């Protein structure tokens, strides 16, 4: 049991130090634990969507879709959404 707890603690420290050194995500650099939790919850959002009241286009003052377009544009990523599907239909496999 002590070795297991030491291994888990060492894992958290390793993730924390790696997050503080990385330059890509400011929220993970400034708040390693909360930043990683944010990305985990963003990943799980479609699965727990039934508990949210608002959809992607219904929020005020900005919809989730509008916010995500602004985030993608600020990171110089592709900001267009495909018509019909969000899956990568050209991916092999």
- Res 59: pLDDT: 63
Q: Provide the 8-state DSSP code for 39.
A: H
- Res 5: pLDDT: 94
CB–CB of 93/87 below 8 Å? Answer: no
On the CB side of 17, how many CA atoms lie within 13 Å of its CA?
5
On the CB side of 31, how many CA atoms lie within 13 Å of its CA?
7
Residue ranges in the chain whose pLDDT is less than 70? 47, 49-60, 81-82, 85-87, 93
Phi, psi angle pair for 89, to nearest 5°: -75, -10
3-state DSSP call for residue 11?
Answer: helix
- Res 32: pLDDT: 83
Distances in Å between the Cα of 91 and the Cα atoms of 68, 85, 87, 88 are: 23, 13, 9, 6
- Which tens digit of pLDDT belongs to each residue from 25-35? 888 888 887 88
- Res 10: pLDDT: 94
């Amino acid at each position: 049991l002590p070795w297991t707890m030491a291994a888990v603690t060492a894992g958290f420290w390793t993730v924390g130090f790696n997050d503080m050194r990385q330059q890509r995500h400011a929220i993970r650099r400034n708040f390693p634990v909360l930043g990683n939790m944010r990305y985990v919850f963003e990943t799980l959002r479609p699965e727990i969507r039934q508990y949210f009241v608002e959809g992607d286009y219904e929020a005020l003052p900005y919809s989730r879709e509008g916010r995500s377009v602004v985030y993608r544009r600020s990171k110089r990523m592709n900001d267009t959404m495909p018509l019909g599907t969000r899956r990568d239909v050209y991916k092999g496999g």
